[in-house]
Structure 1
Amino acid sequence: MKDILKRRFQMTDLGGVSYLLGWHIERRRSERIIFVHQEKYTTKVLDRISLDQCRPVRSSEETSQKLSESDCPQTDAEKQEMEKFPYREAVGSFMYLIVGTRPDLANFVRQVSRYLQNPGPHHWNYVVRGLKYLNVTRNFGITLGARDVTKACLAHALSAYSDADYANSVDTRRSVSGYVTYVARRVNAF
């Protein structure tokens, strides 16, 4: 295939891809898998926000904490105080990670992105917790490949699950629902 492309187009073969748009791509041929992660990008984010040496936490969210519009700054002085914190930059960094290799952060970003226009100290503390979680899980990523596709796996070719959090929003009392579909025990959509 390379020869056909070289005859048709002017090109240079740089070998297998190992880094693309901030994604590290590790091919493990013996295991027949490809592991994609954004560890370097995550480290840059933590360095930029000065949380690279923070105390680690084991989850991005704390179930007892609920974010609310009542936590948003009300006065100009409070709003000006919150401008010191890189709230939008941090949430944007989380969004880039979700698109790439960290779908586990999707619900966290759904919650904190509601307050991008007017975040308060409580919202910032919630984002800091997410950054502390990133510090622990910076080497997480996505594994692609045929590691354990067996007859038992194919017997459960398609399955789906859903859940709802009734009246999740403190402000509007709206519910939040989610779903995940699996094909051959691999996440297909969420």
Structure 2
Amino acid sequence: MKQTEPKEGLLYYLGMEIHLKQNGIMVTQQKHTNKVLNRYGFNEAYPVKTPIEPGMLTEKHTNDEPLKNKHYREVIGSLLYLSTISRPDISFTINYLSRQVNNQKISHWKMIERVLRYLKGTTNFGIHFGNEAKLRAYADSNYSGTEPDMISTSGILVYYSGPIVWMAQKQSVVSISSAEAEYRSAASCKQEVCWIRRIMQELGITIKEPTKLFIDNKAAIHMLENADEGKITKAKKHIEIQCGSHG
């Protein structure tokens, strides 16, 4: 029986544009992005190449007054929809800005303006799902965070033919070392992988090989390897106590 090639086309679903291509599927939100840009007067803005500038989170802004007469919550809601559906590249920035809804400052609005200018030049960006059927996971963290509480942020990405889960999420407690922050991020990523594997099994997708988890901290890798062997190292004993588990 002759196998027919998939037809190319375009589908619309819940604000997403699903492009059917010969080499896979592309998910974008161009219409929603343009709608947001028009609503806030950035349809003719000069585009920039990154959603955030170096130092935006760490510099102390002098005379940073409370924000007035701006639709902060409204624009954050629109950008959150983008960041969770098709734009993981703005996920970290929008996660940080969403924490400031009760403490809006002029510097935060300037960050929103930069995100909108970035979106102006990348309206056609999205997620491509190809033919590579391998489940991989990546975890990272920014040790000590950027706020007065010094809590780190976990970065997680799970990939199967394309990004299927991603998040930039504030950790629940203060980590006392970069290794601990990385360990917590990896542990959260591991939970996501276990959930995805169960869902895929229910859908009839069998993955026999273990899922590779990529992190870039040797001390955290050492702690994770010991955890797989049922050991608790001195360096992470307090983490296990806080988590209420021993393995």
Same fold (TM over 0.5): yes
Deviations 1:34-71 (A, max 9, x none): 22211111111011100111121111111211179988
Task: Note if contact 2:24-2:130 (Cα within 8 Å) is conserved in structure 1.
Answer: yes
- Asked if 1:111 is matched to 2:104, the reply is no
Deviations 1:77-101 (A, max 9, x none): x65xx33212111111111112321
2:17 counterpart of 1:24: yes
- Please tell me the root mean square deviation across aligned C-alpha atoms, in Å: 2.6
- Helix, strand or coil: the match of 2:74? helix
2:163 maps to a residue whose letter is V
Measure the CA separation in 1 of the matches of 2:60 and 2:73.
16
State yes or no: 1:169 paired with 2:146. yes
Count of aligned pairs between the two proteins: 158
1:11 corresponding residue in structure 2:
none
Where does residue 10 of structure 1 map in the other structure?
none
Superposition misfits of 4+ residues, deviation over 4 angstroms: 67-73
Aligned positions of 1:49-64 closer than 5 A? 49-64=40-55
Contact 1:35 1:141 in 2 (8 A): yes
Tell me, yes or no, if structure 1 residue 40 matches structure 2 residue 16: no
User: Aligned partners of 2:118, 2:32: CA distance in 1, in Å?
Assistant: 15
Given that 1:160 and 1:182 are in contact with CA atoms closer than 8 Å, whether structure 2 keeps it comes out as yes
Q: Percent identity?
A: 33
- Superposed CA deviations along residues 137-174 of structure 1, whole A, max 9, x for unmatched, are 1111122242xx3xxxx6xx443332221111231111
TM-score, normalised to structure 1's length?
Answer: 0.72
Name 2:177's counterpart in structure 1.
Answer: none
Structure 1: unaligned runs, 5 residues or longer: 1-15
Alpha-carbon contact 2:157-2:163 (below 8 Å) kept: yes
Residue pair 2:84, 2:91 contacting (<8 A) in 1 also: no
Give the structure, 1 or 2, with the largest relative contact order (CA under 8 Å, sep 6 or more).
Answer: 1
Q: Which residue of 2 aligns with 1:179?
A: 156
TM-score (normalizing by structure 2): 0.56
Q: In structure 2, do the counterparts of structure 1 residues 135 and 17 end up closer, same or farther at CA, with 3 Å as the change threshold? A: closer
